[in-house]
Amino acid sequence: MKKKQPPVPEPVIAQEILELAKRASSAPTDKARRVAKCTVCGSDCSTTSNDQLCWVCRRLKISAWRDSDIQMNVQE
């Protein structure tokens, strides 16, 4: 006796739509193309950075400002 094979279900999403989604997800986005470079070291900057510095150089800049403020207060 031969077993009866279950029927193949119809796809929920059309094949054309799946192909479009695959191509859209693999294409580079505008955000990825607009990554700015740090003006000090050349690393990638954050997209929200308005001073064109990477997080390391930005941190060093803030630390340097803090140190100079402390020195100015000591001299006064």
Residue 55 lies in a domain: yes
pLDDT at 56: 92
**Structure tokens that stand for 19 in this block:** 């192909």
**Structure tokens that stand for 56 in this block:** 């390391």
Residue 4 lies in a domain: no
pLDDT at 10: 78
CA-CA-CA-CA torsion sign (53, 54, 56, 62): positive
Dist CA 59 CA 25 (whole Å):
34
Domain that holds residue 38: 15-75
Of 74 and 56, the one with more pLDDT: 56
pLDDT at 17: 86
> Total domain count for the chain?
1
Confidence at 5, pLDDT banded by 50, 70, 90: confident
